[in-house]
Amino acid sequence: MKHHTENLSLLMDFYELTMANGYLANGLQDQVVYFDLFFRKIPDGGGFAIMAGVQSVIEYLENLHFSESDLSYLRSAGLFREEFLSYLRDFSFACDVWAVPEGTPIFPMEPIVTVRGPALQAQLIETMLLLAINHQSLIATKANRICRAANGRPVMEFGSRRAQGPAGAVYGARAAFIGGCCGTACTLGAKKFGIPAIGTMAHSWVQLFDSELDAFRAYAREYPKNCTLLVDTYHVLKSGIPNAIRTFREELLPRGCRPVGIRIDSGDLAYLSRKARQMLDDAGFPDCQICASNALDECIIRDMLIQGAPVDLFGVGERLITSSSQPVFGGVYKLAAVEKPDGTIVPKIKISENVAKITTPCFKNLWRLFDLDTGKALADVVTLHSETIDDSRPYTIFDEEHPWKRKTIEHFRAVPLRVKIFDHGQCIVKPRPVQEIQAYCNEQVALLWDEVTRFEYPHQYYVDLSQALWEEKNRLLAHSQTEKQQTVAFPEG
């Protein structure tokens, strides 16, 4: 079933269109190609990232069409053939797509999405695939770091007002939930994705009343079963907490209700939360939770807990929804192979003086190897698509850059990570509820060693190439070097 949503077909870099027009002009529009989407660096120096954005990719590809308005705009550019515009008018997506499921821990340089299909089509979809995967994987990764720092305490996503545009708020809320947040303040995101909507009050509510006590009383009368009071409008310890306690006693207890909590949004949160906890306990409200907010991130939350802050839950906004510490995920989309009419697959490689930008060629598959004794992930292996990993026999993994560093593993389980989501342009998977994706994410992160998940200087998880793929890559590198030597003219003498 197709998802009806906004037409984003022109949400692409302009050169995608000029290249596509050029493919058609040169008879290459139906040339079957393979593109890989991968990333090079984990944000914040972390040990892993979280895959997200696949559902957005599915919805985009299912709705990919070009309206007469789109065609008129392109015609006005004066660059495109009428033949190309006619192709777009009758556009029908026909590619195969494989992707790592959302919520899966992912690592640099592994093909997390592969597209196979006509060159014109595979080229056109580059921008939107990168946009969806880069943005949502970035936010899911940041959310997972923050939630792990909270050490089991709920984290609420509070960032809509600081997000970079409506889509950043809505899809950021979804990604944050996948990464581990318990809910969002973004009402549209909550509605769209079935995420719990969470919110209390702003300082303006308190200021609009004649006194803080009046404001608290009014809120408690309106929401007696869901009463969380913001206590830092004037003075947390001299005003906010005493007025909250009085409100709980005089408005909630007579109605047979207990307070949900208080929220502290400014000041020294560790100190204030300790004092607030003591005051609430002494007043007979040990069940009243303390929520902390105010420009939090994983580092501040971790330090607060080390300092003994008795905070029960956190509201995290701008530093989560923008991943402000490192706001770029850096995924790229590169040609990996070309398929001839007879079915022969010809590998393609991009070579650079910057070694990190050399691509891995060929139509590939991605495997994760799990230790059967501990259940933990040992390594990922990128293989030729035609290869399988026989986990009934010992298997040797090795470092691509230092191939003498080898390790033979036994008693393991080899699991292919990617799932085919489109077959000849038709989506063949059903949408997964975001709650299911979040649970899967938690399960998969728990399968990583603690050394990989630590915040400071995490262990580098192994992402290796199979022997056959490594040999093919080095063959192409050697061939390229030979060609370079033959074409460079050296001066005589």
Question: Going by C-beta distance under 8 Å and a sequence separation of 6 or more, which residues neighbour residue 257?
Answer: 224, 225, 227
Of the candidates 204, 278, 215, which has an alpha carbon nearest to the alpha carbon of residue 246? Answer: 215
Residue type, 287: D
Number of Cβ within a 10 Å radius of residue 278: 12
What confidence category does residue 162 fall into, taking pLDDT thresholds of 50, 70 and 90? very high
pLDDT of residue 479: 87
Give the contacts of 69 (CB within 8 A, at least 6 positions apart).
Answer: none
Return the closest-CA partner of residue 236 out of 212, 218, 210, 205: 212
Residue 488 has pLDDT above 80, yes or no: no
Q: How confident is the model at residue 486 (pLDDT cuts 50, 70, 90)?
A: low
Share of the chain above pLDDT 70, in %: 97
| Confidence bin at 1 (pLDDT 50/70/90) | very low
Let me know if 23 is exposed, middle or buried by CB neighbors in 10 A (0-12, 13-18, 19+): buried
Give the span between the Cα atoms of 217 and 229, in whole angstroms: 10
Structure tokens belonging to residue 107 = 């690592």
Per-residue model confidence as pLDDT tens digits over 167-189: 999 999 999 999 999 999 999 99
Nearest CA-CA partner of 177 in 201, 200, 193, 162:
193
Q: pTM here?
A: 0.95
Q: How far apart are CA 390 and CA 80, in angstroms?
A: 50
pLDDT at 481: 74
pLDDT at 346 over 70: yes
Which strand (E) or helix (H) includes residue 135? Answer: helix 126-149
Tokens 């701008």 -> residue = 318
- At 355 the pLDDT is 87
Residue 424 has pLDDT above 70, yes or no: yes
Higher pLDDT, 155 or 492: 155
| 222 contact partners, CB below 8 Å, separation of at least 6 | none
pLDDT at 335: 98
DSSP state of 108: T
For residues 363 and 340, the answer to whether their CB atoms sit within 8 Å is no
Would you put residue 129 in left (φ > 0), alpha (ψ -120 to 50) or beta? alpha
Digit-coded pLDDT (tens) for 37-88: 999 999 999 999 999 999 999 999 999 999 999 999 999 999 999 999 999 9
Q: Average pLDDT of the chain?
A: 95
Question: What pLDDT does residue 230 have?
Answer: 98
* Model confidence band, residue 485 (pLDDT cutoffs 50, 70, 90): low
Instruction: Assess whether pLDDT exceeds 80 at residue 463.
Output: yes
Residue 455 burial by Cβ neighbours in a 10 Å radius (0-12, 13-18, 19+): middle
Let me know: does 8 contact 128? Beta carbons within 8 Å: yes
Q: What is the CA radius of gyration of the chain?
A: 27
pLDDT at 493 (0 to 100): 41
Backbone angles phi, psi at 105, to 5 degrees: -60, 135
Domains and CATH numbers, the chain: 14-139+327-482 (3.20.140.10), 142-321 (3.20.20.70)
Say if CB 37 and CB 51 are below 8 A apart. Answer: no
295-328 pLDDT, tens digit per residue, is 999 999 999 999 999 999 999 999 999 999 999 9
Instruction: Evaluate whether 185 touches 156 at the Cβ level (below 8 Å).
Output: yes
Residue 7: per-residue pLDDT: 79
pLDDT of residue 8: 87
- Quick check: 251 pLDDT over 60? yes
pLDDT of residue 3: 46
Query: Predicted confidence band at 401 (pLDDT cuts at 50, 70, 90)?
Result: confident
Residues 91-104: what's their mean pLDDT? 98
Alpha-carbon distance of 250 to 326, in angstroms, equals 47
- DSSP secondary structure code for residue 35 in this structure: E
pLDDT (tens digit per residue) in 118-141: 999 999 999 999 999 999 999 999
Average pLDDT over residues 87-103: 97
d(CA 56, CA 426): 15
In terms of C-beta density within 10 A (0-12 exposed, 13-18 middle, 19 or more buried), how is residue 2 classed? Answer: exposed
